[in-house]
Amino acid sequence: MIRLALVLLLLPRLLWADPSVWRQEWPDTDFSQSAVPDWAEIMSGGPPKDGIPAIDAPLFIPVAEETRIEDEEPVITVELDGQTPRTYPVRYLMWHEIVNDTVGGVPVAVTFCPLCNSGITFDRRVAGRVLSFGVSGKLRNSDMVMYDRETQSWWQQAMGEAIVGDLTGTQLRQVPTWMESWAEYRTRNPGALVMAEPPHNRAYGTNPYRNYDSSRRPFLYNGEMPPHGIAPLARVVRVGSRAWPLDRLAEVQEISETGLVLTWRAGQASALDTGQIAAGRDVGSVRVLDEGGENVAHDVMFAFAFHAFWPDGEWMLGR
C-alpha cells in the first residue's frame, strides 16, 4: 500500500486537486460546498473509494474465547453506562479503519487512521438521522477522509467534521473511548466482549506501515512541522485544542491540569513500529478523566497532525 502511494505521489498534483476528476467516482457529492481552502490539500492515499472496506454490524465473542490477540496489542475500548464493555482490536482497524456499530442503542463509528495514529469513536447520529461511514481513499494532512453513505459528504477523521458536501461544517460528537493493551482490557473486563475477526482475507496482526512511527517525516504530508522542537511523529494526547506530549506524561505517569487528570501506564505496543503489531515497542496506555472521575474524550495522535488541524492549539509542555 505504501509503495503504491509513493508512486501516486509522483503523479501531477492536479490529478488530486480537481473536483471535476473526482465527480466520476463521486457523482452524488456536492463539491460546491466545502470547508477546504485549497483542493491541493486532498490527496489520494492509493486505494479507491471503499478500497479499504469499513466493517458494518461487527460480530463479537466473549473475552475468554479470544486466542489470537497478544497481551501487548492495542485495542480501542468502548464502555458505555449500563452496557457490556466491548473492544475493537487495532489488528483489525489497521486494515478496515472504520467499524460502524451500535452499542446499547447508540450508533457509533470506531475509527483508526494509521498515518496519524488517531483512534477516535464518534456518535453516528446527525440532525435526526443515523449515518454510516466508509473510507474515501482520500487523505488530507495525511489523515483519513471518511464519507457518509447517506449524503456522500466527506469527513475529516481527526476532527470529526464534514469538509465537503451537503453536511459541510457539521460536527460529530466524540464518544469518550480509549486505546489500551489487550491485557489491560481483558484483566479489567473478563466477562466482556471483543470484536471477532472479520471475514476478510487480510494479514491481521501485521503492520503494513513498518517503522512508520520512527520516521523523520510523515507520509503524504506537505504541511508545517510542529513547533517547540517536537518530532512530527511524536505522540501527543489531544483533548479539544490542547495537546500534552506523551513523553512528558510517560515520565511522570500522572498530570493534573486544566481540570483533567491524565495517566500513563506501560504495557501497550505501538501498532506502527515493527512488522508484527504485538512486537512493537512499548508506548503505554493513556486515560483521561475529569475531576469527578468521568472519562473524557481524547485522542493519542502524532504531533504533526495536531499542528495541522489545530494550528492555534495549546501545547501543554509543563515549562
Helix (H, G, I), strand (E, B) or coil at 56: strand
The C-alpha angle with vertex 241 and arms to 236 and 243, in degrees rounded to 5, equals: 20
pTM strictly above 0.75 = yes
pLDDT tens string 221-239: 999 999 999 999 999 999 9
User: Which of 16, 3, 31 shows the shortest CA–CA distance to 139?
Assistant: 16
| Digit-coded pLDDT (tens) for 92-107 | 999 999 999 999 999 9
Asked if residue 178 has pLDDT above 80, the reply is yes
- Is 15 strand, coil or helix? helix
pLDDT of residue 7: 41
Q: How do residues 47-86 score in pLDDT, each as one tens digit?
A: 999 999 999 999 999 999 999 999 999 999 999 999 999 9
**DSSP for residue 246:** H
pLDDT at residue 20 in the model: 86
162, 153 contact by CB (below 8 A): yes
Q: 206: alpha, beta or left, given left = phi > 0 and alpha = psi -120 to 50?
A: beta
Give the pLDDT of residue 16: 53
How many Å separate Cα 75 from the centre of its chain? 12
Tell me the per-residue pLDDT of 269-280, one tens digit each, with 9 for 90 and over. Answer: 999 999 999 999
